[in-house]
Amino acid sequence: MVSTRQGIFSTIVGTIISLFNALIQFLTIYWVLEKFGSEFNGYVRLVSSFSALIATADGALGLATTILLVKPIVQNDWITANEIYSTSKKNYRKASYVGLTLVLLTSLAYPLYAGTSNTGLFEADSWKNIGISLGTEGELAGYWVLMGVSLAFGLKNFLAAFWFSVYENIIAADNKNTIRRIVILFTDIFVYGLLFYLLSLDVSPVIPFLSMLLYSPIKGLLIMLYVKRKYLWLKYYKEFNSFRLVTTKKKISFSSIGTSILVNTDVLIASIILGLSVSSTLSLYLVIAVNTRLIMTNFITSFREFFVALVAKRGRIQWESYAKYELYTYLVAGFTFINMSILSPYFVSALYGDLAINNLASTSEADRNVLEFMFFSPYFSILYAGSTALIILCEAQITLIHAKGRYGEVSKWQNYLGVTYIIVGTLATFICRVAGVGGVEWSLVSGIVAMYGFKLIFLVIRYCYLWVYVWKYATYNSTFKHAANNFMILLAPALFMSLFNIFYITKKLNIELTATKSINENAVVAPLIGLFFAIIAISGLVLILFAYLFSPKMMNGIMKNIPIINKIVNKKSEEARRKRFEEYGIDVDEITTDKSNQLSQALINIAEESAAAHLSLDTVEVKVEQKNDKVYVIKGS
């Protein structure tokens, strides 16, 4: 049975695992950057982004399978469930061949571009030494090494799609995501532990990344064994074909293309237009930023199954319920924006500042300006935090639209938006780079600002479109009540804390001097830890105060549902109930579950005594007026 309690528990487990994954990525980038240099790290980040984009179709199939399996599993309709399972398995294998083709083409072509980007693809001398420099020792990662790294990331998704992904969808549909995430946690520990060990050895750069090929078989086998033992009704029928799954998958896949372009092409545009050094610097920042976004998105997506079941039962949700959900999503987005915009520069600089400075020591002034803008300035963090908050808000609307099953109706417009962004954003970044906007030394910074500026604009347009769509088609009795108040709960704290950060925090606690030891040898971690807990506490308090200021009743309802507060309220309610029993001479401790009839009788006696105390039939005269109505008889012919 799907419930908010399961959603909350899934959120907690997902958040813990996301934090662990963030730690793994911190360590991976740190060691890759330290051992192989910034250019190779930028290449690794880019091929992983290519791999994620290629896997978009598999993600759409997985989401469609999960949503369509919820109802038959709840209703014990094993025929329909096996039909969806069999169709999904066949489609996963078809999609895996398409993905494999794209991986092979990417792995053959992109290393040529990356390996010749420093001297020019069309220069004759560039083809003599195709590769990327490793560190500062003059070593070169050749074409075959680059191709091997790209294949390692790409084939990981192929192995998962061909054999195992469908089993993950089954346990997700049965709201057993906790099991899946625990298996992922175990696999992460094993595979990345092996990766870290291989990185410590003096081997070719491609060898450590071959461990990625073990990820899908280990995770997939464990999940498959669990599914085979628990779901005994599961059976593959080659002749089964679910038309509804095929059409739903196409709609979701088509609808997610524009979203993927809009959300996941940052490193791609930066590497192609601005160079691998810039993409490497950006990838360092994105390690913290993207993982923060994934952690906070867990607070939205963990309730997807709950909304699927709710919408399947009622058709839509009431506007008052939606307003509370919107307030909750605004609080999550606002909390993310405030903490990311303030804390990200300090922690990115503390983790990677020294390594990035050392790796960029021999590069151009423009590359060093990009590093300073991203790591030591509050403005880039505000820019990126704004896009992250909008992505979370859009995800909240998409969750309701997917629960409603209206994938295709929003897909075409979002795809137009994504394609328009990739054209406009790439063109604007290219113009800033070529025209030297802001000066040659600052042209790369101008390109970054242009790219994220247009991304913010397009995300705002996307959210407005999704909000209006939910208002029209996913809620009952839709009005504009609470809409302005909820928006102010998001906007007012974000503006207040941004100004507080620019004009006070960064002045009192300089980012460079506080977080970077190569600039300040006396830099210690204690102020960062204090800042971390202080900002989390202040941001939470500010959001709560503004929420009570603009929407006190809804905020009160949300606060009462927080587990700790809910427990206190229930305890007080239980004590009040116990006192009422004691007033009528009832010992609650003696009334156990074995004597439930005594409790029922006691409650009946209380009701009867209360009624008798206020109403005595001996003293009340009841008058009933007699009224004889006329009776008409219709005679037949």
pLDDT of residue 620: 43
> 230-239, 361-370, 584-593, 612-621: lowest mean pLDDT where?
612-621
Compute the average pLDDT of residues 482-505: 92
Q: What is the pTM of this model?
A: 0.70
pLDDT tens digit sequence for 553-581? 888 877 776 666 767 777 777 777 777 77
**How many Å apart are CA 65 and CA 81, to the nearest integer?**
10
DSSP 139-171: EEEEHHHHHHHHHHHHHHHHHIIIIIHHHHHHH
**What confidence tier does 608 reach under pLDDT thresholds 50, 70, 90?**
very low
**How many Å apart are CA 176 and CA 2, to the nearest integer?**
10
H or E segment and range at residue 136: none
pLDDT tens digit sequence for 244-301? 888 888 777 777 778 888 888 888 888 888 887 788 788 778 877 777 777 777 666 6
Hunting for tokens 């009839």 — which residue is that?
597
Amino acid at 428: A
Q: Where are the domains of the chain?
A: 1-241, 288-563
Compute the average pLDDT of residues 390-418: 83
Question: What are φ and ψ of residue 55, in 5° steps?
Answer: -80, 5
pLDDT of residue 112: 81
> Higher-confidence residue: 45 or 417?
417
Compute the average pLDDT of residues 428-456: 91
How many CB atoms neighbour CB 315 within 10 A?
A: 10
Residue 65 scores a pLDDT above 80: yes
Q: Which tokens hold the place of 324? A: 């509370």
Compute the average pLDDT of residues 208-220: 91
**What confidence tier does 611 reach under pLDDT thresholds 50, 70, 90?**
very low
Residue 309 scores a pLDDT above 70: no
Helical H segments across 265-275, by residue range: 266-269
Residue 186 scores a pLDDT above 70: yes
**How many Å apart are CA 637 and CA 627, to the nearest integer?**
31
Q: What percent of the chain has pLDDT over 90?
A: 24
H or E segment and range at residue 317: strand 317-318
Most confident option among 57-61, 250-254, 322-326, 461-465: 461-465
- The 3-state secondary structure of 382-412 reads HHHHHHHHHHHHHHHHHHHHHHHCCCHHHHH
Residue 148 scores a pLDDT above 70: yes
**How many Å apart are CA 259 and CA 464, to the nearest integer?**
14
Burial zone of 122 (CB within 10 Å; 0-12 exposed, 13-18 middle, 19+ buried):
exposed
Contact by Cβ (8 Å): 86, 240? yes
**What confidence tier does 377 reach under pLDDT thresholds 50, 70, 90?**
confident
**How many Å apart are CA 464 and CA 454, to the nearest integer?**
16
**How many Å apart are CA 145 and CA 462, to the nearest integer?**
40
Cβ neighbors of 613 (< 8 A, separation 6 or more) are none
pLDDT of residue 452: 94
Average pLDDT in the chain? 79
131-134 and 317-318 as β-strands: parallel, antiparallel, unpaired? unpaired
pLDDT of residue 179: 84
**What confidence tier does 458 reach under pLDDT thresholds 50, 70, 90?**
very high
Compute the average pLDDT of residues 44-72: 80
Query: What burial letters (b/e) apply to 49-71, b meaning 16+ CB within 10 Å?
Result: bbbebbbbbbbbbbbbbbbbbbb
Compute the average pLDDT of residues 499-524: 75
**How many Å apart are CA 108 and CA 118, to the nearest integer?**
18
**What confidence tier does 135 reach under pLDDT thresholds 50, 70, 90?**
low
Alpha-carbon torsion 176, 181, 184, 189, what sign? negative
> 16-25, 86-95, 321-330, 551-560: lowest mean pLDDT where?
16-25
pLDDT of residue 609: 46
Hunting for tokens 């290519």 — which residue is that?
50
**What confidence tier does 83 reach under pLDDT thresholds 50, 70, 90?**
very high
Contact by Cβ (8 Å): 392, 329? yes
**How many Å apart are CA 25 and CA 27, to the nearest integer?**
5
**What confidence tier does 75 reach under pLDDT thresholds 50, 70, 90?**
confident
Alpha-carbon torsion 290, 296, 298, 302, what sign? negative
CA dihedral 543, 546, 550, 553 (to 10 degrees): 60
> 39-53, 212-226, 448-462, 487-501: lowest mean pLDDT where?
39-53
**How many Å apart are CA 262 and CA 424, to the nearest integer?**
11
Residue 539 scores a pLDDT above 50: yes
The CA–CA distances, whole Å, from 255 to 56, 294, 316, 584 equal 11, 20, 21, 63
